[in-house]
Chain A
């Protein structure tokens, strides 16, 4: 009897999942966002194989050229083709931002599960620390952590963003777990004599997945935002990476003379964050309906 109920339940879940996917594929904002995202992902994967010039080393003799048919987006002060650099510029940020988001989600979810499930002293202590950390704005905190760590490699930036984001995720997960932990199935598992880590990860976690997923997609947008901003103020990625924010921070002092070296990477960053935001917004709408 249990098997029949389980099978129908499972197929019900599958129908629900298919329905969600269908809704997602019908939403225009999701399609536009996913399309732009896919475009930048392709550029990141193919890198210098699709760019008309080498994004890093190709130094033509045409320095600081205006946009023309030969160089669509012009060239920078070192004679590098801006169009090639914009195409290649998605690579680093599309590696760092998702990695940081993943790390932050794992760490934050663990913290949130522990604080929400056990409550008591562990919860009070960790939650107060999280409150204190959240009182400091993200970028200020990141600058402080980067300075203390003393390294500005891609790895350091990833870890710093992950550290800064995990308290935010932990708070969301904790709220979701608090709601779940009072339900009967948790009590049942506990009475069955399951260990707490089993109950937390095998029973509670699957049921709080939707809010975690939504939070993660939102954080991904902010991770791109944060990496770009950190890089722009000189605390993130460093030249000669063709990263968009590196290009901007290299060239914005010369904005009046060569606006094309700044405007095109700026538009690229904007298109990427807006695309991620459109995707996360539609995922959120579908999951929370």
Chain B
């Protein structure tokens, strides 16, 4: 913080002022006390604002990006999975599965760089950075977010498609589907009323677990597109050794993950009568 040429007295004074000369356990208990009171402490970077003032706008920005990415990937992923699942074992199925899985393992920054190269540098359709001018309208914001959201969506597509596909395959094989066919229901009705409804259950659970992954993916993507979100904030805090901001940022990331998982569990129970009735008994 004070630079490499700081005198020993200055360091000692700084440490004393910020309480970092106390034992680690004392500092930790102090930090915990702050959390309970809703006080995350102050950033170590001058002018040392309360960390929440730094985290809040970053959190909002990240949420915009994440929601946008999900709006793109969820319909495509489910569609791709259903499409593959209904053609199980055929070339279309193999194609979707292999391409989806391959895209899922390529690091986000690689996908993002290729997207930037093609869509902003070669074709000139979309802006290179995600950060818009202050006071930009909704449409401009969407244009800026399009590439980073696409990069995240491409990585997620494979997971969602795979789970949907597995669900469809399982449901197609199930006794109730055979019964529905034998009842004489037309194929379309069987698929929409019996197969898809059952197949989409695990998909919801997986989409929720991917939120945690998404926050991690945000680090590289926000850095690449220079977007002031939670991921870039954690990264900058780590680079500047701003430990208060770093710990608070990681805490917020963990809490976001927990909250999203909880919401997904509740949504899962609401949608699934088996769990709903079990809980009622």
Contact = CB atoms under 8 A, between A and B. Distances in A.
A binds B: yes
Contact of A255 (B116, B254, B258): B116
B7 interface: no
Contacts of A141: 250
Given A140-B215, A225-B105, A229-B108, A29 B98 contact: yes
Interface stretch (A13-21, A75-83, A188-196, A263-271): A263-271
Contact of A262 (B108, B117, B216, B217): B117
A208 interface: no
B26 interface: no
Contact of A273 (B98, B107, B114, B254): B107
A117 interface: no
Most A Cβ at <10 Å: residue of B109, B110, B239:
B110
Interface of B: 98, 101-102, 105-110, 113-114, 116-117, 121, 128, 212-213, 215-217, 219-220, 223-224, 231, 234-235, 238-239, 241, 246, 249-250, 253-254, 257-258
Complex A-B, nearest 10 residue pairs according to Cβ-Cβ distance, in ascending order: A137-B216, A147-B238, A139-B216, A274-B102, A277-B105, A135-B254, A273-B105, A270-B106, A266-B110, A139-B219
A274 B219 contact: no
A161 B235 CA distance: 17
B277 to A, nearest CB: 27
A56 interface: no
Contact of B101 (A140, A266, A269, A281): A281
B110 A140 contact: no
11 contacts: A137-B213, A139-B216, A139-B219, A141-B250, A143-B238, A146-B238, A221-B105, A229-B109, A232-B109, A248-B113, A263-B114
Interface residues on A, range: 35 or more
| Residue of B215, B238, B246, B258 ringed by the most chain A CB atoms within 10 A | B238
A19 B38 CA distance: 61
- Interface-centre pick from A140, A228, A263 (highest chain B CB count, 10 A): A140
Given A136-B253, A147-B246, A252 B113 contact: yes
A225 to B, nearest CB: 5
A247 to B, nearest CB: 12
A107 interface: no
A286 interface: no
Nearest to B122: A259
B45 to A, nearest CB: 14
A256 B238 contact: no
A255 B106 contact: no
A222 B216 CA distance: 13
B121 A274 contact: no
Contacts of B102: 274, 277-278
A276 B102 CA distance: 10
A223 to B, nearest CB: 11
A236 to B, nearest CB: 11
B109 A140 contact: no
Given A136-B250, A136-B253, A225-B107, A233 B113 contact: no
Given A135-B258, A140-B215, A228-B109, 7 more contacts: A138-B216, A139-B216, A140-B253, A147-B246, A252-B224, A255-B121, A266-B113
